[in-house]
Chain A
Amino acid sequence: MSIPGSWYLILSALLFGIGALGLLIRRNVLIMFMCLELMLNAANLSFVTFSRMLGDIAGQSAVFFVLVVAAAEVVVGLGIVVAIFRRRATAVADDISGMRD
Chain B
Amino acid sequence: MTGLFIASVARTIPDTTVFVAGALMILAGGIGVIACKNPVHSALSMVLTLFGVAVEFIEQQAEFLAAVQIIVYAGAIVVLFLFVIMFLGVDQNDDVHDEPLVAQRPLAVLLVIIAVISIIALGIEAGWAVGPHHVTGKTFGPYQNVGEVGRSVFTTYLFAFEATAALLIIAVVGAVVLARRSGAATSDAVLPSLAPTGAPQDEEVTS
Tell me the A residues contacting B by CB distance below 8 Å.
1-11, 13-22, 24-28, 30-31, 33-35, 37-38, 41, 44-45, 48-58, 60-61, 63-65, 67-76, 78-83, 85-89, 91-92, 94
Contacts and interface: CB of A to CB of B under 8 A. Distances in A.
Contact of A82 (B33, B87, B123, B149): B87
A56 B156 CA distance: 12
A30 B172 CA distance: 19
B140 A30 contact: no
How would you classify the secondary structure of chain A's contact residues: helix, strand, loop or mixed?
A: helix
A25 B43 CA distance: 17
Contacts of A21: 34, 108-109, 112
Nearest to A22: B34
B88 interface: yes
B60 A15 contact: no
Contacts of B113: 17
How would you classify the secondary structure of chain B's contact residues: helix, strand, loop or mixed?
A: helix
A18 B178 contact: no
A31 B50 contact: no
Contacts, number: 261
A24 B156 CA distance: 38
Contacts of A73: 171
Contacts of B26: 11, 15
Which residue, of B53, B76, B111, B148, has the highest number of chain A Cβ atoms within 10 A? B53
Contacts of B115: 17, 20
Contact of A22 (B33, B60, B72, B178): B33
State the 9 A-B residue pairs at the shortest beta-carbon distance, nearest first.
A22-B34, A79-B178, A24-B108, A72-B171, A18-B30, A17-B116, A54-B131, A79-B175, A6-B128
B100 A94 contact: yes
B21 interface: no
A25 B105 contact: yes
A57 B61 CA distance: 11
Interface string B15-55: 11001000100110011011000010011001001100100
Nearest to B189: A87
A9 B122 CA distance: 11
